[in-house]
Chain A
């Protein structure tokens, strides 16, 4: 069992939990958090390199490092793991953000409990990305959701009780639909009675009849779509992000919302290609609304976190939007967008947390001229903003460009119109980003007390630099990532691509 490297993505966080429980002071807690997240980064890099080697050696299996251990034998539930390029990209993303998040919560009150919940959350995240068994996948998915309640409720700010409850209940509501969908998939997973939860086997069997696909596809897509902030189920996201503490916002917007997109892609579309092909238009409309509506909402907000949360709704909407285009280019763009949005939104939330920690306000009307007071943080903010509005050389440009090129490949009127509508969001993004940058960073200093504030500390610099480097890496070497994820997008593996 322990010869498979993937299992350590769950083992390391569990060891961290054990170590944290034994910690006596803040230094030990920080040491555990940093050591653990470095170990996770190292592990994901190792898996990434191994994966590329194996692919270069000509291994064409849909997933590598595949392994499966029996768990609930009579129900054929296994602890099954396996990764392809997409999961690896997500694993790398998660480990980077957890690393940055540990530094961003360097001075959190009640650090022990905070990190315990945060690491439990990341156990769920990593477990989700390595699982290829629907049951374990769902279990890890829910493990990742519930710590949010306490993280927001205890360490949050503002209207935290309401936000925490709303977020938890809405996400759990999504997972209620999801659970029914997954059990339904299980009972139709095989034509010859050997029912299975294993994604690869279900895809290979292709036994789900089109009638059942019509029922199960919306169930699973909506279930995951709630976490992907699909309109009209996105309302948890602004409140939740606004109330959450910095590291939790980072992890939630950066990684957890990707669980939704990844799930839609890996379960809903991968396993039910026919229904995906025929019902995609419904969800395309909803996600199209997300994209534009999120961007417009961000324009009128005055709270930094709300601005960013609505921009997340818009960008995550774009992920689902691109996935539903059902062609290789757009889907590649969707994965790039997941990475790009994950990193830059984490950067945004980290910076907002750092600014809020100094000024004690997030209202942009009460701040100004921060460029003079804290130049380092201000420059980082500009970089994040540029990434968000799609400056070439940073990740946002690559992702959005790929998405829109891919979307435009669908030649019919419906898709073209929606692509153009979604394209408008780029302009709106520029509006709200530049508005914030102009008000917050330039102009006169609004509050005399702000002039005495200090710039970033070393741990804050480390956290932001990590994220900026990653954002720039995607922007400068997009081909590396495109190659990493391309194997999955062959019509033999991903049948929906062959249907068009």
Chain B
């Protein structure tokens, strides 16, 4: 075996180094230095992210291990997007990680987080289902431990149990699907599956795809595989919830697109277009309708993230380069908007322990800046210009319609009508903060330095990512020249 192949995995190696440094720091530094671990990890991750974003050596396409692993400019870009999100999550979680009850488990949070990120890297880069499953598992199982980090809180443990059971069950379903695929095609390489399935149509294939889609659908919390979402989001520590809702979802969405195109692209029109079509309508609508009734902010954002996943899937069903670019852009914007919302929720929870929407009443009077951030985040999630969410929604719809069929027009119309429902519940938060006339519940407080930096970054992203066109232009240019285009028909 040619060990120089490992050099193709530049980003993975970089991440591994970050992980090792954090691990060594946590293990060997004296206990008194532990307080600096969150800052150390954030800075390290920031340096790594910046290096990845500006390193020209990541622009080329490479593949290793007989085609099991692949990297290209597009893949490097999506990994960078995830990295940016992780940096923000880390910055926002500094205060929480330094709290009293987290002290004995501080290092674990960072180590587990980096391991799951590594797993997501593998999911994205895998071109063989064995590697993909390794990635999927290492991205799922440590997350259960992260969810349980607040081990003295009953909800946290309950959420972890729910998460791990559904995760294991959905992996089993996914593996079942894989065995069907293997039976049909005789290989687990995406490329071979693609060739073997060209022109095929059988009940077994439909079943195989249904299993595979439901397996990944769990990670994305597509309806009807979303049932764990609200409970886990509510029970997990807020920093873990924000990580779960953006990074884990973003990675799964991209990996989902890669699988469906590169392994199953040949049966797009016959089989999975219609499955996805139904899933998208269900996901967006059910997510939206359930979000209306939520009073707990974390549950509320859980259902909002379910419906957002439906919009992200529009980029997959588009099945073209524009859809791919729009999907990546949507993930990026969604990371910023959702993390802004979670930043505010986390700040308020850390300061006062309040997470109910009723507690947000009159927030604009006591904490005007936090409520402004929250409002911008809500507007961005709802797709109101001039914030980035508007652009990402517009582009994902444009990408989807580029596919051209009448059915897609209908789908986009349903999605658009759903944006009105989503606007309603996002405005409920704004209403609580700005319009409600009851006495404010949350006292004026000063949020910590990390929380403020995190919010500054996310708000800058919400305002800048849309108006400054170069991000989207870059993504579309990158995807337009990418090899993945060969799979779109």
- Residues of A with Cβ closer than 8 Å to B? 71-75, 77, 135, 139-140, 142-143, 146, 149-150, 153-154, 160-161, 164-165, 168-169, 172-173, 176-177, 179-180, 183-184, 186-187, 215
Contacts and interface: CB of A to CB of B under 8 A. Distances in A.
B187 interface: no
Contacts of B435: 150, 153-154, 160-161, 164
B385 A177 contact: no
B412 A146 contact: no
A74 B386 contact: no
Nearest to B472: A72
Nearest to B412: A180
A165 B469 CA distance: 32
Interface stretch (B5-13, B52-60, B155-163, B422-430): B422-430
Contacts of B469: 71-73, 77
Given A72-B473, A149-B427, A143 B386 contact: yes
B67 to A, nearest CB: 30
27 contacts: A71-B469, A72-B469, A72-B473, A73-B469, A74-B473, A74-B477, A74-B480, A75-B395, A139-B385, A142-B384, A149-B430, A150-B434, A153-B431, A160-B435, A165-B431, A168-B423, A169-B424, A176-B419, A176-B420, A177-B413, A180-B397, A180-B413, A180-B416, A183-B394, A183-B401, A186-B398, A187-B404
Nearest to B476: A74
Given A139-B385, A149-B427, A150-B434, A187 B402 contact: yes
Contacts of B384: 142, 146
Nearest to A174: B420
B390 interface: yes
B268 interface: no
Interface in B459-478: 469, 472-473, 476-477
B409 interface: yes
B431 A161 contact: yes
A140 B416 CA distance: 18
A310 B480 CA distance: 52
Nearest to A141: B385
Contacts of B394: 135, 179, 183
Given A160-B435, A172-B419, A179-B394, 13 more contacts: A74-B325, A74-B476, A142-B385, A146-B379, A153-B431, A153-B434, A161-B431, A161-B435, A169-B424, A176-B416, A180-B409, A183-B398, A187-B401
A150 B430 contact: yes
A73 B386 contact: no
B204 interface: no
Interface string B425-462: 00100110011000000000000000000000000000
B143 to A, nearest CB: 35
A100 to B, nearest CB: 27
B417 interface: yes
A271 B261 CA distance: 37
A179 B397 contact: yes
Interface in B370-409: 379, 384-386, 390, 394-395, 397-398, 401-402, 404, 409
Contacts of B379: 146
A173 B430 contact: no
Contacts of A187: 401-402, 404
Nearest to B480: A74
B423 A184 contact: no
Given A73-B473, A184-B409, A177 B398 contact: no
Contacts of A142: 384-385, 390
B476 A75 contact: yes
Nearest to B423: A172
A30 B63 CA distance: 64
A149 B382 CA distance: 14
Contact of B417 (A73, A75, A168, A176): A176
A80 to B, nearest CB: 14
Most buried by B among A160, A164, A165, A186: A165
Most buried by A among B325, B390, B424, B435: B435
A131 to B, nearest CB: 12
B401 A184 contact: yes
B223 to A, nearest CB: 21
Return the 3 tightest CB-CB contacts between A and B, nearest first: A176-B416, A153-B435, A74-B476
Nearest to A170: B420
B387 to A, nearest CB: 10
A139 B409 CA distance: 21
Contact of A168 (B398, B413, B427): B427
Contacts of B402: 187
Contacts of B416: 176-177, 179-180
A164 B428 CA distance: 11
Contacts of A77: 469
A413 B424 CA distance: 45
B306 to A, nearest CB: 20
B427 A75 contact: no
Contact of B423 (A71, A75, A139, A169): A169
Nearest to B428: A165
A140 B390 CA distance: 11
A139 B386 contact: yes
Nearest to B479: A74
Contacts of B430: 149-150
Contacts of B404: 187
A161 B379 CA distance: 18
Contacts of A168: 423, 427
Contacts of B409: 180, 184, 215
A75 B480 CA distance: 12
A154 B412 contact: no
A179 B397 CA distance: 9
A183 B469 CA distance: 19
Contacts of B395: 75
B367 to A, nearest CB: 15
Most buried by B among A142, A183, A186: A183
Contacts of A169: 420, 423-424
A222 to B, nearest CB: 12
Nearest to B421: A169
A2 B280 CA distance: 44
B371 to A, nearest CB: 11
A259 to B, nearest CB: 14
A71 B385 CA distance: 15
B420 A172 contact: yes
B476 A165 contact: no
B417 A165 contact: no
A122 to B, nearest CB: 14
A144 to B, nearest CB: 10
A173 B401 contact: no
B97 to A, nearest CB: 34
A176 B173 CA distance: 38
B424 A165 contact: yes
Contacts of B386: 139, 143
Contact of B427 (A165, A173, A180): A165
B98 to A, nearest CB: 34
Contacts of A73: 469, 473
Nearest to A124: B385
Contacts of B427: 149, 165, 168
A354 to B, nearest CB: 25
A173 B480 CA distance: 33
Contacts of A161: 431, 435
Contacts of A143: 385-386
A139 B420 CA distance: 16
Contacts of A186: 398
Contacts of B385: 139-140, 142-143
A319 B311 CA distance: 37
A33 B390 CA distance: 28
B488 to A, nearest CB: 16
Contacts of A160: 435
A375 to B, nearest CB: 37
A161 B437 CA distance: 11
Contacts of A149: 427, 430
Contacts of B401: 180, 183-184, 187
